[in-house]
Amino acid sequence: MSSTTNYILGVYDDEDEVLHAVSEVKSKGIKIEDVFTPFPIHGLDRAVGHERTRLPIAAFMFGVLGLTCALSLISYTMVFDWPMIIGGKDFFALPNWIPVTFEGTVLFTAFGLVITFCISNNLYPGNQPDLLDLRITDDKFVMAINVDKNKKVSADDIKKALKDSGAIEVNVK
Amino acid sequence: MSHVVSPIREKLVTGGKSYSDVTHDICKQVEGEPTKEWKWAFGISSIVFIYGAYCLFYTWWQGIGVWGLNKTVGWAWDITNFVWWVGIGHAGTLISAVLLLFRQKWRTSINRSAEAMTIFAVLCAASFILAHMGRPWLAHWALPLPNAFGSLWVNFNSPLVWDVFAISTYLSVSLLFWYMGLVPDLASIRDRATTKGRKFWYGLFSLGWTGSSKTWARYEYMSLILAGISTPLVLSVHTIVSMDFATSVIPGWHTTIFPPYFVAGAIFSGFAMVQTLLLITRVVFKLEDYITIEHIEMMNIVITVTGSVVGIAYLTEFFIAWYSGVEYESYAFINRATGPYWWAYWMMMTCNVISPQLFWSKAIRTNLMVSFFLSIVVNVGMWFERFVIIVTSLHRDYLPSSWAMFSPTMYDIGDYIFSFGLFFTLFFLFAKYLPVVNMAEVKSVMKGVSSNFPEKKKATKKTEE
Amino acid sequence: MAGHSHFSPANVEEHFEFTSEGKKRVIYAFIAGVVALVLGIYLLSKGEAGGHEVANAGHEAVKAGHEAASEHLSGGAVSHQPAAEEHYDWTNRIWANVWLNAVFFTGIAIIGMFFVSLQYLTKSGWSSVMKRVPEAFPKFLYITLPILLLVFFFKGDAIFHWMHHGVTEVGNENYDKIIAGKSGYLNKTFFLVRLVGFFALWIGLWTVLRKKSLEEDLIGGTDLFTQLVRISTAFIVVFGASSSMFAWDWVMSIDTHWFSTMFGWYMFSSWHVTGLAVITLTILLLKDKGYMAYVNENHLHDLGKLMFAFSIFWTYVWFEQFLLIYYANMPEEIIYFLERWEGHNKIYKTSEILMVFLNFFFPFLVLMTRDAKRTRIFLKIAAFFIIVGHYIDFYQMIMPGVLGGHAGYGLVEFGMVTVFASAFIYIVSDELTKASLIAKNHPFLPEAVHHDI
């Protein structure tokens, strides 16, 4: 969100109102950039029109990777590199390896998932975002409309649409 | 989640709070100067920590011979304390993960501090593993690194190695889960910051959070998946801890019910510890509107249920020891109840099985003082449970000439004190510098569960129209 | 949300009609089952059971077990005398099948009660819209109780090693010291007291719960709800306390020498996930007929999650019981798995592998994604195979101890399952007609109707 972009912001103070407002504003042919909220609102991402995230697929892939790594390491060390008879079991004592394999799978899934999440949302330590409104993390719900991407609708119409949909303030940034 | 909530449900947030009130009430103690009570509490726990650290240092300097172990009882307080702390360290992830999956809204007010407690408890448990090692500077030998003596690897068939993986995975994943839960709240503090230092530090750790709906949607998915994998993880941890004992062939240790029964015991003691800490926190930080009697009651119900499950497991073990017809098993259990350590056994039975049954009475489970007292009783009982399992199973060797008793030395006790010092020092630091209640989550469920939720503005606007 | 605002309790009432067409179909299935069963029995009597029976399984069957087991090593608790080994009678296979199905379907029936009670106890809102379905299941206990009793009275010794003549009698040629040691618990009277006692408590509590639940439809209000919570709590306590005991009695004591503290919770987990699968399948079939419109994909998603989670839970319990026994490798314990893995000419090995596949890998992979849990056909497939998988699980628990090397999958097995399943469908359908499919005055119903995840 560089400062050169021109935004019109509708500020709301209720989660249900903002959810209705999204479809109302959209129905007037206005493209919404994003909505910023203090907490997750169920169905808001669908209303705004974001695609469903593919994070679960990433998590699954990391899980498979973790499983493979853990099993490979264990079988390499226990069967090929330095086989030892433990408790009278075969070298390839699969049941005994399930616990560590499971932990490895979980570890890879969790870290892979969170790292993917951070990268895909541009979250990293030291990131200082250009915040549209400081009250977003407190109690206000802010709908951001990029004027440059809404050439067909005049700025005044956008402001009016926001006001009509229940915004308590309309700001320009 | 829809806001349609049946009117017969108890309210989870009281006092007619608005979203902004939530932010203010929770951030207050992070932003304010440390209170006198906090300074005292922190000071005392630091002193305990320093004394304990001395004991631990001495243990390492001299070797673990300073403990009261003998040839027969070669494992006693060290592993008892380890299991006890790991058990306590189960509630946080359970509250945030399992209760999230079960959509229990009451979890939102307590998950943050429960998770923090979890992490600190697991650190305490880990300190006993290090204490065990005698030579903690060689701790990395427990990891699968090819070492200096050729490519000799750790033994992946050993439950102790499973434990290393389970504890380290659990610690790191819990930390991750907890931290990701903190990010939106850290952003709240960042955006309210009035000093440069606070803006910098909370800004650094909030990773540039903006609260966009796209991020939130992904964030919810991430939380659900983390919860989904943390649930089997939390079960696996105590399962693997129990396998340290149950894979062996020691009478009293080798029994197949150990894993789920240890897990139930862990939830039991973990909830009791959360209860103890929350009952203090809610008063000290004036959070009575967020951690209500309803929360306390829910926790007490969980304590009763898990306590009863543990009780059934005790009886099952006892019964099957007789039913199996294996005389060593039968002896081990009869010796627990009537042998020289009978007092430990009955302490465990009273504290763990009988005392939680008092919570069947609504008057008792909603009484703060009794809840506080019983939450401590439960953890005393759970400590004795581990002591009973470990010491009474070992102290009667197969050879009667080797029969022995165990008595702790001041270093056994000192190392235990160390863990308390560590735990409370970390907990007080957390309580001062981080929001103790998950603000974003509380706000997200407030409609419907909050009494006198302020909706005036909306109403007036409607009349205008 | 606005779309649902016209919701009011009055317009949700709907009655299931068990049409004569439907009845006919269930009865035909029952008759087909009986025919298969009779044919199977006829073949059995001729010594051609069909299926995978290995003819000469006989005495060498548990050879591996015998070798591993040696009495002086283990304080004398070695199991090496599966009931079937001597005096094998071909009719035993019929009784083993009756017992297997009676226990399996008792489980499904009582899990209906367990599910409803748990929802009350945890004050769950989402499930209130479908609670009438599991609530009808326990009716089938009226069928399984007499069957269990009759088999126990007349053919108990075919099933339970501890009921063999003279096993507890000192000096008798069948005398078995270990079994004699257990006779304080495993004896006919005490066994019967427990069996009848558990059923009496279950049926009693269910009858009260059902009555109050139907009253709620007429009266409404929160008083009845509070009472229902109390009854549910009582049931959970009773069920929790008895959960290990009935598993020891009805299943674990078949392998009389063998013991595992875990067994009760293991059998419960198998029952539980089967029950969930049957609930899901019933709801889906009702929806196919146009009933239960208020149960939408959100509720199905939750049922899918439960089947997924409890399949994993079953795996956890099964695996850790196995792992501990495998790891310690004590003769008196490991024989149980040796018998199922390499004993009896390996006739149980395929089932064992198939069972783990159907009960873990299959639901795990099929139900992992969100879309699968919200799609009816995936849920149906998963639920169906979970039920089949857990039937095999019970087969593995019961058959080796009763029949040893003489077990197999043939017409008898197929016929018996069909008979029990069609009876179950008939009884439950009939019970479903007795009340509205939606408990219209349930205080959490508005929550359930607006359920959105």
C286: part of which helix (H) or strand (E)?
helix C263-288
Q: What is the mean pLDDT of residues A101-124?
A: 93
Q: Sign of dihedral through CA atoms B199, B205, B208, B210?
A: negative
Alpha-carbon distance of A40 to A38, in angstroms, equals: 7
Q: What is the pLDDT of residue B442?
A: 87
Q: What is the pLDDT of residue C16?
A: 85
Q: What is the pLDDT of residue B3?
A: 65
- For an interface test with B, the pick among C261, C299, C373 (most B C-beta atoms closer than 10 Å) comes out as C261
Q: What is the mean pLDDT of residues B192-197?
A: 87
CA-nearest of B237, B214, B385, B420 to B314 is B385
Residues 6+ apart with CB under 8 A from B180: A114, A117, B219, B222, B223, B226
Chain A hits for B188, CB-CB cut-off 8 Å, are 38, 137-138
Q: Give pLDDT tens digits for A43-88.
A: 888 888 888 888 999 999 999 999 999 999 999 988 988 888 888 8
∠ Cα B344 B349 B354 (to 5°): 145
- Global confidence as pTM: 0.91
Check whether B242 has a pLDDT greater than 70.
Answer: yes
Q: Do A36 and B2 touch (CB under 8 A)?
A: no
Q: What is the pLDDT of residue A12?
A: 87
Q: Do B208 and A107 touch (CB under 8 A)?
A: no
What is the distance in angstroms between the Cα of B188 and the nearest Cα belonging to chain A? 5
Which partners does chain A have (≥3 C-beta pairs < 8 Å)? B, C
Say if C325 is an interface residue toward chain B (CB within 8 Å).
yes
What is the distance in angstroms between the Cα of A138 and the nearest Cα belonging to chain C? 25
- For an interface test with A, the pick among C316, C321, C326, C373 (most A C-beta atoms closer than 10 Å) comes out as C326
Chain A hits for C369, CB-CB cut-off 8 Å, are 56
* DSSP-H helix ranges across chain A: 15-27, 44-48, 55-75, 94-120, 155-164
Q: What is the pLDDT of residue B98?
A: 84
C113: part of which helix (H) or strand (E)?
helix C92-121
Q: Give pLDDT tens digits for C363-408.
A: 999 998 888 888 899 999 999 999 999 999 999 999 998 888 888 8
Chain B hits for A137, CB-CB cut-off 8 Å, are 23, 184, 187-188, 190-192, 209, 211
Q: What is the pLDDT of residue C386?
A: 95
Check whether B113 has a pLDDT greater than 50.
Answer: yes
What kind of architecture, by CATH, is found in domain A7-51+136-172? 2-Layer Sandwich (3.30)
**How many angstroms separate the Cα of C140 from the Cα of each of A150, C14, C424, C429?**
65, 23, 6, 11
Edge-first strand order for the sheet with A169-172 is: A34-36, A141-146, A7-12, A169-172
Chain B hits for C244, CB-CB cut-off 8 Å, are 312, 316
CA-nearest of C453, C451, C440, C452 to C125 is C451
pLDDT averaged per 10 residues, chain C (length 453): 46 80 92 93 75 42 42 40 58 91 94 93 86 92 94 88 84 85 90 94 94 87 88 93 89 91 93 95 91 87 93 94 92 90 88 92 90 90 94 93 86 93 94 87 82 77
Q: Do B4 and C446 touch (CB under 8 A)?
A: yes
Alpha-carbon distance of C403 to C400, in angstroms, equals: 6
Q: What is the pLDDT of residue B464?
A: 39
Q: What is the pLDDT of residue C125?
A: 83
Check whether B460 has a pLDDT greater than 60.
Answer: no
Q: What is the mean pLDDT of residues B309-333?
A: 91
Chain A hits for B145, CB-CB cut-off 8 Å, are none
Q: What is the pLDDT of residue B452?
A: 67
Q: What is the pLDDT of residue C205?
A: 95
Q: What is the pLDDT of residue B455?
A: 59
Nearest-Cα residue of chain B relative to residue A54: B218
Q: Give pLDDT tens digits for B119-148.
A: 999 999 999 988 888 888 888 888 888 766
Rounded to the nearest 10°, the torsion over CA C178, C182, C183, C185 is -170
β-sheet bridge partners, residue B147: B150
CA-nearest of B79, B76, B65, B74 to B402 is B74
Q: What is the pLDDT of residue C7?
A: 54
Average pLDDT, chain B: 88
Alpha-carbon distance of C160 to C144, in angstroms, equals: 18
Q: What is the mean pLDDT of residues A15-42?
A: 86
Which partners does chain B have (≥3 C-beta pairs < 8 Å)? A, C
When pLDDT is cut at 50, 70 and 90, the band that residue A9 belongs to is confident
Q: Which amino acid is at B42?
A: F
What is the Cα gyration radius of chain B? 24
- How many Cβ pairs within 8 Å bridge chains B and C? 112
Average pLDDT, chain A: 86
Q: Give pLDDT tens digits for B147-190.
A: 666 667 888 999 999 999 999 999 999 999 999 999 999 999 98
Q: What is the pLDDT of residue B82?
A: 94
Percent of chain A with pLDDT over 90: 26
User: Where exactly are the structural domains of chain A?
Assistant: 7-51+136-172, 55-120
CB interface of C with B, residues 34-63, below 8 Å: none
When pLDDT is cut at 50, 70 and 90, the band that residue B1 belongs to is very low
Q: Do A103 and B165 touch (CB under 8 A)?
A: yes
Say if C264 is an interface residue toward chain B (CB within 8 Å).
yes
What is the distance in angstroms between the Cα of B365 and the nearest Cα belonging to chain A? 32
Which partners does chain C have (≥3 C-beta pairs < 8 Å)? A, B
Q: What is the pLDDT of residue C222?
A: 83
Say if C323 is an interface residue toward chain A (CB within 8 Å).
yes
Q: Which two tokens stand for residue A8?
A: 């019109």
From start to end of B284-379, where are the E strands? none
**How many angstroms separate the Cα of B460 from the Cα of each of A162, B269, B464, B465?**
19, 49, 6, 9
Token match 């970390």: residue?
A: B426
| Residue B368: count of CB within 10 angstroms of its CB | 12
Instruction: Pick C405 or B421 by higher pLDDT.
Output: B421
C221: part of which helix (H) or strand (E)?
none
CA-nearest of B359, B259, B364, B277 to B317 is B259
**Are the C-beta atoms of residues C104 and C193 closer than 8 Å to each other?**
no
